[in-house]
Chain A
């Protein structure tokens, strides 16, 4: 990311960050900051809320209104914040485990309500901070501290899950595809409703090392070689899609009422004010 943006948005004296060498979280955080800057939003109008885990340490580095909250519970706290001050641009940073396991229930209900939040899921396929246990997004057949003989559980597609639960904007990009990642985050922030962006990122220390691709650059090259743009993905056969994943904006709909607006209408009705 650009040096001027580091100086503008990062808290002085907090770098270097604590993430491991080659961890993609720094790149994803850079894309989030760049997207906010591109949108021209004043940093005082941004709330950056995170849960618990490696990815959730991101809120500590950036100079927005930030809170590093409870494991899996970033979304309920962000929902409350948005309800109290709907003018805030609320960004939620969460990891694959934080969001799909510990906070899985909160994810589906935030999606169902269509609260105007922008959720960025840092998907590094593993619980990094606690030492490499497999998460619901760890690909089947991976080695993890809790799966020394390889995982047998199929992984969630977090975006399919969010879309099925009612999320009105879903997109995916990787830490290799930085301009695309920045662009989809910008679109997610602009979208009025619940936006979920999956940022595929690499954990060389706890996923890579156990799965024989520990070199950070090679993990990034894997992202480059396995991601397929949505337009091309739509033309591919099931056989061609094997082992690949689509990137770009995967779905957007604008026909569902946003939650804080619906709530505002209820308040007006209760107060006898005609809508």
Chain B
């Protein structure tokens, strides 16, 4: 898995999901960012989520896939 979530910091704003070019991310019913169903292998490690997350709650672990 190329993405690391720090769930305790996530406030569910949805910025990561909106700007993800591959639609890998979603916001769950519990208001937390997560990988969308069926998208587990779609992350291209572009880092747009990590770059814009205002809560430092999502990180790309490059090459960890």
- A residues contacting B by CB (< 8 A) are 1-3, 6, 10, 15-17, 19-27, 30, 175-176, 178-179, 204, 215-218, 220-221
Contacts and interface: CB of A to CB of B under 8 A. Distances in A.
A216 B56 contact: no
A178 to B, nearest CB: 5
B18 A217 contact: yes
Given A3-B59, A17-B55, A22 B13 contact: yes
Most buried by B among A2, A21, A25, A204: A21
Contact of A16 (B8, B19, B50): B8
Contacts of A25: 54
Contacts, number: 66
Given A3-B59, A217-B19, A21 B12 contact: yes
Most buried by A among B52, B53, B56: B56
A23 B15 CA distance: 10
Contacts of A176: 52
B52 A178 contact: yes
Given A15-B9, A215-B14, A220 B52 contact: yes
13 contacts: A3-B59, A6-B56, A16-B8, A16-B9, A19-B54, A21-B11, A26-B54, A27-B53, A27-B54, A176-B52, A204-B13, A216-B54, A217-B15
A22 B12 CA distance: 8
A204 B18 CA distance: 15
B51 interface: yes
B65 interface: no
B4 interface: yes
B65 to A, nearest CB: 17
Contacts of A22: 11, 13-15, 54
Contacts of A17: 55
Interface of B: 4, 8-9, 11-15, 17-19, 50-57, 59
Q: Report the 6 A-B pairs with minimum CB-CB distance, sorted nearest first.
A: A26-B54, A217-B18, A22-B13, A21-B11, A21-B13, A3-B59
Contact of B55 (A26, A179, A215): A26
A178 B18 CA distance: 16
A27 B51 CA distance: 8
A217 B17 CA distance: 9
A216 B53 CA distance: 11
A227 to B, nearest CB: 14
Contacts of B55: 15-17, 26
Nearest to B15: A217
Nearest to A215: B14
Nearest to A19: B54
Nearest to A4: B59
